A and B are shown apart, each in its own frame.
Chain A
Amino acid sequence: MRTAEGYRKLIWKAKIRWLIGNIIVYSIVCIPLVPIILMYGWLIAQAFSGVCISSLIPQKLTLDNFYFLTGPIYWGGTPLYKSYWPLVRNTLLLALGTTGLVVAITSLAGYAISRFEFKGRDPLLKSVVVVHSIPGVLFLIALMYVLNTIGLYGKGFLTLLSVIIIKAGLESPMYTWMLKGFFDSVPWELEWAALVDGCSRFAAWRKVVMPLIFPGIAAVSIFAFLSGWGEYLLVLTYITDRKWYTLSLALSELTYQFKHVDYGMLAAFSLLYLLPAMVFFLLTQKYLMTMRIVAYKG
């Protein structure tokens, strides 16, 4: 039999244990946060500083570093790019194109794998994991030959389109698998009800199933957009015409200065480049969490 005093002591001990536990956990969690905060902090501070700084405090606050928004971009004295905006256009094209293509392919493929029985269905599913683990880098040279033979290499806009197709192709298996998990969670009876109500298979997919899959589609779109927005290797390898460079490529070129590095401009440029990614992540964290859980269940 415990006395009131005894209970109070136990509660006190439990509270202290909980407090210390939390302090330890949060401290450990904060450790990896430190370099991240330092990096982003420096980026933001440098973007608004007139001189090159090595601390988190901006000096000589100015907006001059953002000059590239309204004029040619200088590389150690010479104008390397006539304008900033075509770069943005190309990057957007790549990102949105990849997203559109990926969503179109994976929403149909995921549905088919989830609902239809066909020969090779299981091996197909299992091979997705294997294929995804192969780095796309391995295919660079082979794809170069393919593009050249088809006549799509060095053709400016068409090459950018090819990059979109290649990106969509490399990433679709994984996204198909994610969406399959979502499709699996839609009960059969809903589709049967739609079929009996008068839908063809396609109409049932479009009107009943897809609206219910919306979080999955949203997650896949976000991932595909961000992947396209940050694509560097494929663009570097295949796009030779400066008119069709993307932001990632331009950034890499601009960092290649050896005498007079314009850290301010670079920081400003990088800040604007990473802004959409950050905004997306902040707005859609919830969606991405549900998506990960469903994907693992599937």
Chain B
Amino acid sequence: MVRVKLEHLTKRFGKVVAVNDLNLEIKDGEFMALLGPSGCGKTTTMLMIAGIYKPTKGHVYFNDVCVDDLPPKDRNVGMVFQSYALYPHMKVFDNIAFPLKLKKLPKDEIREKVKKVADFLEIGHLLDRKPAQLSGGQMQRVALARALVKEPDIFLMDEPLSNLDAKLRVVMRAEIKRLQKRLGITTIYVTHDQVEAMTMADRIAVLREGILQQCAVPDELYLKPRNMFVGGFIGSPPMNFLDCSLVEENHEHYLDLGVFKLWIPPDIADLIMKNASGSELVFGIRPEDLKVTLTLPPEAKEAGQKSKIQAIRSEIYVLEPLGKDVIINTKLGDTLVKVVAPPTIRPSVGETIWLNFDLDKMHVFDKKTELAVI
């Protein structure tokens, strides 16, 4: 079992910097997700951990030993690729047995190990087929079997679920998580799907353009995003962002969002003034943290008044019914704001509703640095 440490890891391809000064520690037996949009450097990072790419700068440590010069075949990593990379000219049995054959194990031992892994992943009946004769889900299990059969110290997975249909993806997510918990192998999982990362990982490292944005447990990423990118990337539908600025009127502080003003308590105002670089800010609120009511509820006051919950009136623009919720789109000024409401509220397009802002749930970011200021 292995701890992985990435120290000032940088990878350059000509002029393009794919990974920029990445520092990350993955604990023994941990399931770490590398999350980010396409081209953010997560696959490159993983290939450097596997030994396929050599870092331009920085080091990779396995259990505090620098493995930069260790070739992939000696690193004892099991890897599952996005396209599965099964050897098309070999049968499933030979695909899974390949790593063991290379280790020159006796034939009987190979057969026994392959059978054990195949049965564990429920593909024992497919051993005589060729990859071209398998479905997507079956190919993925064969890829998993090939990675597991050599009992690796580290498990690397590069978007293994992205080629599966939605239903199978949900099933396999749970299966892989259960597998990892049972085997206890240190796992690094690359994905661009934040739902996958949130549901499967112990910790998530969010990457953007080669730079680490935040590394934390899923709840912390959701409740306390370090910057606008993380705030907008985690959570579906994504966080609503509204430009605003901090103003002071009659010794009270307000966030001026253009169309309306929100009163904020003095301690929060002090925090904003301390951390912000200028006066331009961005107000963030998650769709599920906004409440929709048909009338002004008793605990709320109209926006601009001293209250924890402030509400404004807004016209419904578009409705997106999902069955278990409905996403209400309203326009605040020029910005489209999404709200997730329970299905019990059934407004119609054009109707005016009260949008309730809970100050406990708000996020404020610096517009220039995009960092969270509270």
Which A residues are closer than 8 A to B by beta carbons?
187, 189-190, 192-200, 203, 208, 211-212
Contacts and interface: CB of A to CB of B under 8 A. Distances in A.
A204 to B, nearest CB: 9
A198 B70 CA distance: 12
B73 A208 contact: no
Interface of B: 47, 50-52, 71-73, 75, 77-79, 81-83, 85-89, 98-99, 102-103, 146, 150
Identify the interface centre among A187, A193, A199, A208: most chain B CB within 10 Å of its CB.
Answer: A193
Contacts of B150: 197-198
B79 A196 contact: yes
B89 A189 contact: no
A190 B87 contact: yes
Contacts of A187: 83, 85
Contacts of A197: 73, 98-99, 102, 146, 150
Given A196-B79, A197-B98, A203-B102, A211 B73 contact: no
A211 B130 CA distance: 15
Contacts of A199: 73, 102
A190 B85 contact: yes
Contacts of A196: 50-52, 72-73, 75, 77-79
Identify the interface centre among A187, A190, A198, A200: most chain B CB within 10 Å of its CB.
Answer: A198
Contacts of B50: 192, 196
B81 A198 contact: no
Given A187-B85, A212-B89, A192 B79 contact: yes
A187 B158 CA distance: 15
Identify the interface centre among A189, A197, A198: most chain B CB within 10 Å of its CB.
Answer: A197
B73 A200 contact: yes
A197 B102 CA distance: 8
Nearest to B47: A192
A211 to B, nearest CB: 5
A193 B79 contact: yes
Contacts of B83: 187, 189
Given A189-B85, A198-B103, 10 more contacts: A187-B85, A193-B79, A193-B146, A196-B51, A196-B52, A196-B72, A197-B146, A198-B102, A211-B89, A212-B89
Contact of A200 (B71, B77, B98): B71
Contacts of A194: 87, 98
13 contacts: A190-B87, A192-B47, A193-B87, A195-B52, A195-B72, A196-B51, A196-B73, A198-B99, A198-B102, A198-B150, A199-B73, A199-B102, A200-B73
Nearest to A197: B99
| Complex A-B, nearest 7 residue pairs according to Cβ-Cβ distance, in ascending order | A198-B102, A193-B85, A189-B85, A197-B99, A195-B72, A198-B73, A196-B79
A195 B78 CA distance: 11
Contact of A189 (B51, B81, B98, B146): B81
A198 B71 CA distance: 9
B141 to A, nearest CB: 15
A197 B52 CA distance: 12
A193 B75 CA distance: 13
A55 to B, nearest CB: 52
B344 to A, nearest CB: 49
A242 B183 CA distance: 74
A194 B101 CA distance: 12
Contacts of B51: 195-196
Nearest to B80: A193
Contacts of A192: 47, 50, 52, 72, 79, 81, 85
A194 B72 CA distance: 9
Nearest to B156: A196
Nearest to A214: B89
Contacts of B79: 192-193, 196
A187 B71 CA distance: 20
Identify the interface centre among B72, B75, B99: most chain A CB within 10 Å of its CB.
Answer: B72
Identify the interface centre among B79, B85, B98, B103: most chain A CB within 10 Å of its CB.
Answer: B85
